[in-house]
Amino acid sequence: MEPLPQGVRVRLADGTTWQVPVLVVAIGLTPDTGLAAAAGLALHPGNGGIRIDEQGRTSAPYIYAAGDCASQFQPLFGAEMRMESWQSANEQARIAATSMLGLQAAPAATPWFWTDQFGCNVQMLGASRDGMRYTWRDTPPGDAASPKFMLLGMLDGRLGHAIAVNAGGDLRQLRPLFGLPVNEYLARLCDAALPLRQIVREVQAEAAGRTASLTTN
Ligand SMILES: Cc1cc2nc3c(=O)[nH]c(=O)nc-3n(C[C@H](O)[C@H](O)[C@H](O)COP(=O)(O)OP(=O)(O)OC[C@H]3O[C@@H](n4cnc5c(N)ncnc54)[C@H](O)[C@@H]3O)c2cc1C
């Protein structure tokens, strides 16, 4: 691969040469689990990762795994998978370390993913699932080269997924709402003229009130 002033020139294994304006490399990732396999740890037959339970324990006592190499059941997706993201690696490490100390770790935070693409910061909270309906959080017209917006994914009246482009601050404010019923607040959540902080407080107060009334009843 040879970088050019405009684009890149690529020579393939068969000798063909291509000159392209943009090259997207999508090569995937294979976990190096040779050591784990030699130690007799259970590996997932599909994704090749080291199988761990919710506390980060492998199939062998006293051996833990975390991060890209680990395969774990993800309740949000309803499937076992390797979650290749910075936050997941950190959360799995926290939970494994707590578990090693014989303590009960708090569950992993809602999955969060970020990336920077073509000058845009893209962040996601939660995950997309079948049947999810997306609504646009409108924003005042801005710079086309640096748009700012959010998409909110709802399932069964609850917020389950949010995608933010150049709106990471707004996304962070939504975190406490994940899993809470927000249907009746959706129109306001999607109105970018309204500050999120106030709406988030209202939803939380209502959820706390519901819990208190359940406790007293
Ligand atoms: C190109 C690319 C872009 C990415 N972009 C994003 C992004 O935008 N957002 C996001 O959330 N995540 C992103 N990720 C994923 C993120 O980087 C990983 O999920 C995260 O780094 C996983 O952490 P980890 O500790 O499990 O593994 P790693 O960060 O890979 O760390 C493993 C370490 O172990 C070392 N190691 C391996 N074998 C041995 C051995 N036998 N002995 C000693 N040391 C060893 C390695 O050298 C390495 O330092 C990206 C990954 C790639 C490859």
Q: In which band, very low, low, confident or very high, does the pLDDT at 9 lie, cut at 50, 70 and 90?
A: very high
Beta bridge partners of 10: 18
The total domain count for the chain is 2
Mean pLDDT for the chain overall? 90
Q: Looking at the structure, do residues 122 and 145 belong to the same domain, yes or no? A: yes
Q: In which band, very low, low, confident or very high, does the pLDDT at 142 lie, cut at 50, 70 and 90?
A: low
Q: Looking at the structure, do residues 132 and 162 belong to the same domain, yes or no? A: yes
Contact predicate 154/133, CB 8 Å: yes
Domain coverage including residue 22: 1-109
User: Over 90: is that where the pLDDT of 44 sits?
Assistant: yes
pLDDT at residue number 139:
67
In this predicted model, which residue has the larger pLDDT, 143 or 90?
90
Contact predicate 150/164, CB 8 Å: yes
Question: pTM for the full model?
Answer: 0.80
Q: Looking at the structure, do residues 143 and 102 belong to the same domain, yes or no? A: no
**Which phi and psi angles does 71 have, rounded to 5°?**
-110, 120
Beta bridge partners of 79: 74
Ligand 1 pocket residue status of 67, Cβ below 6 Å: yes
Q: Looking at the structure, do residues 96 and 118 belong to the same domain, yes or no? A: no
Mutate to test the pocket of ligand 1, among 27, 30, 85 (most ligand atoms within 8 A of CB): 85
CATH number at residue 22: 3.50.50.60
Q: Residue length, the chain?
A: 217
